[in-house]
Structure 1
């Protein structure tokens, strides 16, 4: 598929997809005419990249995470430099902190919607027997 179709399927602007390519995050093949050609696998990868970047990771750290994911999928024991290990440990702590913050925010929004007549109508999973989360 061409870059325009990848953009349509992922909701990611073509300019951003080209930037991801510049950063080595996605690697399309090139057709004889020089056009980029993307696979179905690139759809999921582009969406994952966007999610990681939107969650606060730099593209450099996003690349490290994607590489680590590939290594973990193929190897039981991995090696890295102490600097990379420290960087990933720091990022792990930051991710855990963001997840905790997001979980508290989710619980607050859920609690508010559970107590709201309109919230129960808009979000069917907030049934009458759903218990508000106390914080």
Structure 2
């Protein structure tokens, strides 16, 4: 697929996809005419990059850890990674998961109350 297709599938602007390539976290193929082309796996890769950025990882950190996330064996993880930084980011991710789970549970409770007819109407 071309960069516009990847942008449409991921909701990430082509300019940002080119930036991901520039910093070494997204690797398109180049066709004979020089156009960037991406396989279907690029969709998951871009979404993973977005999630890591949202979790507070920098593009440099992502560049270092991304090769290891699919296969964490030392033979596939050749980049030097500051494990203390990764541990801190993991703590941040776990805190976000906790907050998301609490919000999910609260929303489920709210919806269940309305569906069972126990919700209060608002006349505001």
Q: CA deviation at 1:117?
A: 3.0
- Equivalent residue runs for 1:1-135 within 5 Å: 1-72=1-72, 74-75=73-74, 84-117=82-115
CA distances 1:82-102 after superposition (whole Å, capped 9, x unpaired): x71111111111111111111
Corresponding residue pairs, total: 116
Any unmatched runs of 5+ in structure 1? 119-135
Report the TM-score, using the length of structure 2 for normalisation.
Answer: 0.76
- Which of structures 1 and 2 has the larger relative contact order (alpha carbons within 8 angstroms, sep 6+)? 2
Kindly tell me: are residues 111 and 65 of structure 1, through their superposed partners in 2, closer, same or farther at Cα, counting changes over 3 Å?
farther
Kindly tell me: are residues 57 and 114 of structure 1, through their superposed partners in 2, closer, same or farther at Cα, counting changes over 3 Å?
farther
Any unmatched runs of 5+ in structure 2? 117-124
Report the TM-score, using the length of structure 1 for normalisation.
Answer: 0.71
Q: Check the 8 A contact 2:49/2:62 in 1, yes or no.
A: yes
